[in-house]
Amino acid sequence: MAAVRACEICKQPIDPERAEAIPDSRLCTEHARAIARFGGEFITTSVQERTSKAGSLKRNYGGVATSKSRNNEALRRLREEFEQLQERK
């Protein structure tokens, strides 16, 4: 079971089941839903793998390699929105 972590936005504990399912997540469930408006917490990219030899005219392609990176722009916008809401209170 994953250790209890605080949400990057509101500092509330992240639900242990969410932390176990998505270990890279830094957001509680509420803010994970809210960040979807800005493109989501992560950006996933994929590249077609090439298995043919370098310089060969024969093109062999294998599977698809994926990578995941944090969507820092979305996190910044969500943090700004949260801070504005806190100022109004």
pLDDT of residue 1 exceeding 70, the answer is: no
Average pLDDT over residues 26-55: 89
Query: Residue 3's pLDDT is what?
Result: 67
Number of structural domains the chain divides into: 1
Q: Please answer whether residues 19 and 4 qualify as being in contact, where contact means their C-beta atoms are separated by less than 8 angstroms.
A: yes
Domain range enclosing 72: 16-88
Query: Residue 50's pLDDT is what?
Result: 74
Phi then psi dihedrals of residue 81, to 5 deg: -60, -45
Mean pLDDT rounded to a whole number for the chain: 88
**Running DSSP on this structure, what letter comes out for residue 55?**
T
Chain-centroid distance of CA 75 in Å reads 10
Cα-atom radius of gyration of the chain, to the nearest Å? Answer: 19
Query: Residue 84's pLDDT is what?
Result: 94
Query: 55 falls in which pLDDT band (50, 70, 90)?
Result: confident
CA dist., res. 63 & res. 57, Å (int): 19
pTM: 0.75
Q: Is residue 81 part of a domain?
A: yes
Q: Is residue 5 part of a domain?
A: no
